[in-house]
Structure 1
Amino acid sequence: MPADPQTSPIPLPTETGQDPLPHTPGSPNDPHEDAPHKHRGIFLDLEPLRFSPAFARLWAGSAITAIGGQLTIVAVGLHIFDLTHDTFAVALVGVVALVPMIIFGLYGGMLADAVDRRKLALAAASVTWVSTAIIAILAWTGSTTVWPLYVLTTLNAVSSTVVGTSRAAILPRILPARLLPAASALGGISMGAAVTVGPMLAGVLVATVGVPWTYTLDLVLFLAAFWGIASLPAIVPDGASRRLPGLSSLVDGWNFLRTAPNVRASFVIDIIAMTFGQPRVIFPAVGAFLLGGGPITVGVLTAASAVGTLISSVFSGPLGRVRYQGRAIAWAVAAYGACIGLFGLVLGVVTWTGNARVGDLFADAYIPGLVFAALALAGSGAADNVSAIFRSTLLQSAVPDGVRGRLQGLFTVVVTGGPRLGDLYMGIMASLLLAWAPPLVGGVVIIALVYVLVATQRSFRHYDALHPVP
């Protein structure tokens, strides 16, 4: 039965036929940008691609590059697991990068409010490409030392964070506010396709031609990022000083965040989801010792959530008509927790019934368990994508352009840093208990904490996209 929006801590999101977002300062000067958006279908809204050729090129370049990025993410995990045979060693990839990502994510946001965002994105993308190239060289030379992989993946993560921060701060300058939900859904399509194709391709490549070729293909695909960014016009933020920012810039950003309860709540709810519901570091162990199938199983499990992301993006048309987006975020994150808990339950049932498998070949895999585990992860991907669409839209529409880079830096740190906390949680719990325990417990914790947050944050519960308030 539908919940009462006035009494339930997590009321159902309400839809409206009106334009969900008002004009955002800094949007393109289009005479129709404030008119209600007419998209009424259930399928993905492609209007952002038609409205802005600059966005179309940026989106295409990012989509191609994202596939290569997934190749390296999966390959690094398998590479380190092959060298160490230790799940916690895989988890350390994210943990080691966490503090540098926070520091440079914040500073990257400050830079995005002070300099040309296009030049900043190009410089950071160059660092990402070079760090990946060195990882590939180490693999080609047969190095068995693990610590350089930690250093280089940290550098890669830091520079990718700055690229993501700059790119997200650029979007409201090349698109009107009414098209931001559709742009976020298109981002879900590209990421869903990347995380569907990339991990599965990585599993096949690692199992057939090896890790070095997998890294090398990423280097080739990454060239598309340079094309997408370089084709943008100069994008200097409102009030930019064009000087390197200092501590006062960071303080100003923090002071703004203190007055932005809805933005804060969107950050906290994502940290909750990612800290207790990011099971990727247990995938190598699941593929080797529980479901069997080795690298192929790792690729299938990683791709499963992306399939959910892709499907939810394809049918994202109605999301542009959701007015109370705080409620939508809460429901989406609660559904994410339920799916992660279900994933852990499936692994538990496989263990309890004595169907656990050991093997590196796909023929060794326990197919029924793999199918149900993949379905649960697909549901988590769909729910997470819906949450991401509304969280991005809230940030981009409610925050002024002059401080958007700094808030986007915080957002990027949350989005990329949260999963690192999840890596630590999953790695420690899996080492102390069994692989099925951390996702099962984490799913329950997510649902409970979302209920508490929404029950205590009234402004977030009633956040209205027609009148965005940070």
Structure 2
Amino acid sequence: MRRAVGSVVADRRPLRIPAFRRLWVSSIVTAVGSQLTAVAVPKQIFDLTGSSAYVGLTGVFGFVPLVVFGLWGGAIADTVDRRVLLLVSNVGIAVTALLLWAQAFVQLGSVWVVLGLLSVNQAFFAINMPTRQAVVARVVPPHLLSSAAALTSTVMTFGAVFGPMMAGALLPFIGLSTLYVVDTVALVAVLWAVWGLPSLPPLSGQVRRAGWRDVVGGFRYLATQKVLLASFVVDIVAMVAGMPRALFPELAERTFGDPPGGGLALGWLYAALPLGALLIGLLSGWAHRVSRHGVAVVAAIGVWGVAMVGFGLSSSLWVAVCFLALGGAADMVSAIFRQAILQTAATDEMRGRMQGAFTVVVAGGPRVADLTHGWAAAAVGTTAATSGGGVLVLVGLVVAVLLLPAFWRYRAPTETADTTT
């Protein structure tokens, strides 16, 4: 029975590696703490302005630095000691969280100060994320990378589910400014975890400054790596064509009967995707036994497309929630194996830049989808926009596989002796 259970629940072998264990524990703290700030910033802006249009600016002020510094940060991660870069970027995130607390505590009342600090925070975050992921491939053996990706994705999903819930529960009791303090304290704990990591300079031994030439070099490298390129393309197809979250408020009220101020349906629609993803993360013990990573990603995105078609055609809230949960589970499977492909197929001197591009794709796809689905729903209605998006996912997936067949054939590296046992 113990062996059967162990084959289903998340593979914990990567946690036997001290360096990965430190990263993983710090990821738990970061996942929850960052969500507190993610809730506090738009809430404060709405309190200051009373305008959802100003709240919408958080997307622009957050996304632009995420793109610029995600790409540049990945290049830096390939040319310096990654432990040092993690420390610097974590300090930057902690300082901006502290400044957000200060302006809220003194009631400065400037929406532009809040948006400016958000941009700086996201710039440091964009440098931190590809560096953190590039470190994983240096400390975890190749045959455990899919398991490590599952563990990391699970805690990030945990933060996405429970972080906002915690923020909502704490806000009436401790106040908005204190949410920033909690995030700052959490980030100090992360600094302690990162401090204990070993030195991680480039394998070439040459530490140097990174420039835009390195960023361009990353794009040139990506253009020659069909497997990596395909992993980005299929995710863009899935998210841009198939992510319907911008339609949740309208669907909740007009299709599922919520009152105008919001209600049960809206909460369930937003929770369903991460709940499905979290379930798969907790039951991901099978992931390390899958060698056909390309096939696994294609199958997962296919299920995502079908789930979005089903969601779009649903007139029952609970049927819709089930389809969304199925989509979230499929997206988690795709994320696990795309991350494993990225960490094994990219060389170490390019891994930071590929992780930077991965961060931009993962963060940017859903934001573009918000725009495309909003326009499509205004033109043809929510049912056609959502279910039609699912169909487009399936068509785009087939085209991508036909144009880049190497992705379908990709297999994980042959397992070597397990040095963690």
Match of 2:346 in 1: 399
Question: Does residue 131 of structure 1 match 2:102?
Answer: no
Query: Residue 181 of structure 1 is aligned with which of 140, 146, 166?
Result: 146
What's the CA shift for 1:98? 2.9
Secondary structure of residue in 2 paired with 1:317: coil
Partners of 1:142 and 1:435 lie apart in 2 by 41
Question: Does residue 456 of structure 1 match 2:403?
Answer: yes
Partners of 1:117 and 1:434 lie apart in 2 by 48
What's the CA shift for 1:44? 1.1
Question: Does residue 327 of structure 1 match 2:292?
Answer: no
What's the CA shift for 1:84? 5.7
Partners of 2:246 and 2:177 lie apart in 1 by 21
Partners of 2:310 and 2:108 lie apart in 1 by 39
176-185 or 309-318: which moved more? 309-318
> Where does structure 2 lack aligned partners over 5 or more consecutive residues?
416-421
For the structure 1 residues 288 and 201, does the alpha-carbon distance in structure 2 shift closer, same or farther, using more than 3 Å as the test?
A: farther
What's the CA shift for 1:465? 1.7
Match of 2:39 in 1: 74
Question: Does residue 412 of structure 1 match 2:380?
Answer: no
Match of 1:146 in 2: 111
What's the CA shift for 1:214? 3.1
How many residues are matched?
Answer: 409
For the structure 1 residues 220 and 283, does the alpha-carbon distance in structure 2 shift closer, same or farther, using more than 3 Å as the test?
A: farther
Match of 1:59 in 2: 24
Match of 2:323 in 1: 376
Alignment of 1:231-270 (within 5 A): 231-270=196-235
Alignment of 1:59-458 (within 5 A): 59-81=24-46, 89-142=54-107, 145-206=110-171, 210-281=175-246, 291-292=258-259, 294=262, 300-346=268-314, 349=315, 369=317, 371-429=318-376, 438-458=385-405
Match of 1:353 in 2: none
| Contact kept? 2:293, 2:411, Cα under 8 Å | yes
Match of 1:49 in 2: 15
| Contact kept? 1:88, 1:427, Cα under 8 Å | no
Partners of 2:166 and 2:378 lie apart in 1 by 28
Q: Which has the higher helix share?
A: 2
- One-letter code of the match for 2:147? A
Give the root-mean-square deviation of aligned CA atoms: 3.1
Match of 2:418 in 1: none
What's the CA shift for 1:184? 0.6
For the structure 1 residues 375 and 136, does the alpha-carbon distance in structure 2 shift closer, same or farther, using more than 3 Å as the test?
A: farther
> Where does structure 1 lack aligned partners over 5 or more consecutive residues?
1-38, 350-367
For the structure 1 residues 435 and 253, does the alpha-carbon distance in structure 2 shift closer, same or farther, using more than 3 Å as the test?
A: same
Partners of 1:238 and 1:131 lie apart in 2 by 32
Partners of 2:393 and 2:344 lie apart in 1 by 27
What's the CA shift for 1:146? 3.5
Partners of 2:80 and 2:374 lie apart in 1 by 39
Match of 2:419 in 1: none
- One-letter code of the match for 2:273? S
What's the CA shift for 1:40? 7.4
Partners of 1:334 and 1:291 lie apart in 2 by 31
For the structure 1 residues 437 and 81, does the alpha-carbon distance in structure 2 shift closer, same or farther, using more than 3 Å as the test?
A: farther
Partners of 1:82 and 1:288 lie apart in 2 by 24
What's the CA shift for 1:345? 4.0
| Contact kept? 2:77, 2:352, Cα under 8 Å | yes
For the structure 1 residues 298 and 201, does the alpha-carbon distance in structure 2 shift closer, same or farther, using more than 3 Å as the test?
A: farther
What's the CA shift for 1:86? 5.8
What's the CA shift for 1:448? 2.2
Q: Deviations over 1:432-460 (max 9, x none)?
A: 77666654443332222112212322111
261-270 or 67-76: which moved more? 67-76
- One-letter code of the match for 2:329? A
| Contact kept? 2:14, 2:21, Cα under 8 Å | yes
Q: TM-score, normalised by structure 1?
A: 0.77
Partners of 1:84 and 1:426 lie apart in 2 by 27
Partners of 1:438 and 1:218 lie apart in 2 by 37
Secondary structure of residue in 2 paired with 1:222: helix
| Contact kept? 2:258, 2:264, Cα under 8 Å | no
Q: Percent identity?
A: 38
Partners of 2:42 and 2:253 lie apart in 1 by 13
Partners of 2:322 and 2:114 lie apart in 1 by 32
Partners of 1:75 and 1:281 lie apart in 2 by 20
Partners of 2:107 and 2:122 lie apart in 1 by 23
- One-letter code of the match for 1:394? I
For the structure 1 residues 311 and 436, does the alpha-carbon distance in structure 2 shift closer, same or farther, using more than 3 Å as the test?
A: same
| Contact kept? 2:89, 2:125, Cα under 8 Å | yes
